[in-house]
Structure 1
Amino acid sequence: MSRNISQAMATWLASDVLTFATCAQITRKDGTAFGFTDHDADIVYNGFTYQSRGGYSPSAVEAADDLSTANLEINALFLDSGGAVTQADIEAGLWDNAAVLIFGVNYADLTMGQVNLTAGNLGQFTILNGGWKVELRGLAQTLQQTISQMYSPSCRALFGDSRCKLTPPTASGMVASVTTAGMVWSDPSLTQTGPVSEYIDTIGYTIPTASPYQIIVVPPSGSWASSVSVVDGGKQTYGQTGGSPGNLQYSVTPNADGSATYTFNSNNAGNEIFINFNYAQGYFSFGTVRWTSGANAGYSFNVRTFSPGVVTLSLPTPFPISAGDQYVITAGCDRQIGTCVARWNNVVNFRGEPYIPGPDVILAPLS
């Protein structure tokens, strides 16, 4: 961001300044640009209009020479009509990470040019009573982001992207009835049943040292289906039993919330174990829904869970979902190695390292 200013601007700033105004030019990721000013009237500068409506007000800018993130917030009001920023667009993510340039001008003499104050990207929004607030993340924020790939047990590719190399299955549907406003609806035409995949435990658990010597496992998605194996750090396999477990045995009970409770013998308390199990997924879980009609037409949302005929979103839609609304739903992936093998047969393109030992194993003392 250049801070070069004209001689006329420099001379004016060195005097008693009475006609200074700040302008903010915000460019969204879709390429649409908007202008705002804290002046009491619109400012047309370089052929671009900076609106005064909405009560735009920036906070003081705090910056340092140690590459720490600059601190600034922008406050404004929602307008009943004609407002550039609406609550629905904020909640739909249209303003996420938009580019911002804030500069100052002499509104009494725009020929002096501008003095750039700060630049960056919009960060976290806060919805207020009748208005909104957003943080401006300075350019130094980019230096704090991870730009290289890091080891992870789950896949780093996005399902269906150029690294995954798959084409996610899709289906068209229409809302039959709404169960929870903005989040859950039913559609009998969605009869797809989810696959059963194996969860491979690479992190491990420690059996509690006090009664009832139980561990609760939670699947990445869906619900626990069956046990595959329980193995300790020394490769000793535990046997499954339907009664009270003895030494090197366990019993397992499914829970109503989709998890499962593993019970062990007191003789094995404190042992580190790895629990592998099968779990059933919803066919469209972790996928997306794009609305093609209704009040939410054009918006896309993530699917949290799916069972035949019932879709649950991760977050509520900005507008109510109504019976008859049409949509396109796309299947997702929980990025586990078992899912990649059993469901998609795409392990050759799996972008994770599921068999790298966890920190407990790496940091364990040598025996």
Structure 2
Amino acid sequence: MSRVFLATELEGVATFWRIYRRDGTTLGFTGHDRDLAFGGIVHRAAPGMLPSAIRRTAGLDGDSAEMEGALAHDAIDGEDLAAGRFDGARVEVGAVDWETLDHAVLYNGTIGAVARSGGAFTAGLASAKAALEINPVPRTSPTCRAAFCGPECGLSASRFTHTATLVSAEPDAARVRFDQAGDGASFVSGSLRWLDGPYAGMAMDIAEADETGGLVLDAELSDNLMAGTRAILREGCDHTIATCTARFANAANFRGEPFLPGNDLLARYPSS
């Protein structure tokens, strides 16, 4: 797209922005006074939502941007923000000619901190340059740094992934019970992804397991979570060399230094 916007004194240009949530939902908005459909996405007219000025530089420092809007819009409400549906969502901001629908993306980033004030919200955006701030050199650690079933781990994700149906839920305790087979302890430090229900598409971490097979999640649960809701459960790993060896027989791919002396070695003293 070689179109140069605002090259003449009078042009029909409007801003647009797209939000790609991690649960697979895509939302499109435009500052125009009517909906615009382009790029396979319908962009809803949202005069109450405004992107701030975008600062783009040639340096390696992250480009700053911000998005403000009203919670009254049908696509964004306070419950979704509180539930974390927009956390880490990918954002595109650009300009569109509302007559020809020629458009160009001016900014790519992800949603960072979200603040609420009354009936409005403010979301800080982190540009794609934020990935350059990550130190590529790993630090030593007694536990494994690899993601469980990730490329460095080497284990098959399908082997430790199970489709299950919710049997019961205790929202006050964030505890759920599924009909999955196996020991509930194997799911500690794992995760689940809801396939339907009020949290469809969302992922939650599994913090604990009790003796009755109940799983304690790291997020609050709604009273609308009913039995029969389907989810995909992923077993967990505590990233210790003992578990990697005894449970998974995968010590060859362990990404850690469990026998490296720590700083406490300096404080030791001889004893008889």
Q: Aligning the two structures, in what range does the TM-score lie when normalised by the shorter sequence?
A: 0.7 to 0.9
Alpha-carbon offset, residue 286 of structure 1: 0.5
**Counterpart of 1:11 in 2: which secondary structure?**
coil
Q: Is contact 2:66–2:122 with CA below 8 Å preserved after alignment?
A: yes
Q: Is contact 1:293–1:325 with CA below 8 Å preserved after alignment?
A: yes
Q: Which residue of 2 aligns with 1:73?
A: 66
When residues 284 and 59 of structure 1 are mapped into structure 2, their CA distance, relative to the original with a 3 A threshold, is same
Counterpart amino acid of 1:322?
Answer: M
Larger radius of gyration: 1
Query: Distance between the aligned counterparts of 1:363 and 1:120, measured in 2?
Result: 49
Query: Distance between the aligned counterparts of 1:32 and 1:178, measured in 2?
Result: 27
TM-score by length of 1: 0.57
Query: Distance between the aligned counterparts of 2:23 and 2:232, measured in 1?
Result: 21
State the identity as a percent: 25
Deviations 1:166-194 (A, max 9, x none): 3326473533351626x22356987737x
The answer to whether residue 112 in structure 2 is matched with residue 124 in structure 1 is yes
Counterpart amino acid of 2:65?
Answer: L
When residues 351 and 46 of structure 1 are mapped into structure 2, their CA distance, relative to the original with a 3 A threshold, is closer
Query: Distance between the aligned counterparts of 1:26 and 1:290, measured in 2?
Result: 20
Identify the match of residue 24 of structure 1 among 14, 17, 33: 17
When residues 36 and 90 of structure 1 are mapped into structure 2, their CA distance, relative to the original with a 3 A threshold, is farther
When residues 348 and 316 of structure 1 are mapped into structure 2, their CA distance, relative to the original with a 3 A threshold, is same
**Counterpart of 1:101 in 2: which secondary structure?**
strand
Alpha-carbon offset, residue 148 of structure 1: 5.1
Cα RMSD of the aligned pairs, angstroms, is 4.0
The answer to whether residue 210 in structure 2 is matched with residue 307 in structure 1 is yes
Q: Which residue of 2 aligns with 1:91?
A: 83
Query: Distance between the aligned counterparts of 2:180 and 2:160, measured in 1?
Result: 19
Query: Distance between the aligned counterparts of 1:124 and 1:342, measured in 2?
Result: 39
Q: Which residue of 2 aligns with 1:357?
A: 261
**Counterpart of 2:64 in 1: which secondary structure?**
coil
Q: Which residue of 2 aligns with 1:157?
A: 146
How many pairs does the alignment contain? 263
Q: Which runs of 5+ in 1 are unaligned?
A: 194-281
Query: Distance between the aligned counterparts of 1:323 and 1:135, measured in 2?
Result: 37
Superposed, 1:126-205 pairs within 5 Å as: 126=114, 128=116, 129-147=118-136, 149-166=138-155, 167-168=159-160, 170=162, 172=164, 174-178=166-170, 180=172, 183-186=174-177, 192=183
Q: Which residue of 2 aligns with 1:247?
A: none
Q: Which residue of 2 aligns with 1:330?
A: 234
Alpha-carbon offset, residue 335 of structure 1: 0.7
The answer to whether residue 204 in structure 2 is matched with residue 295 in structure 1 is no
Counterpart amino acid of 2:211?
Answer: P
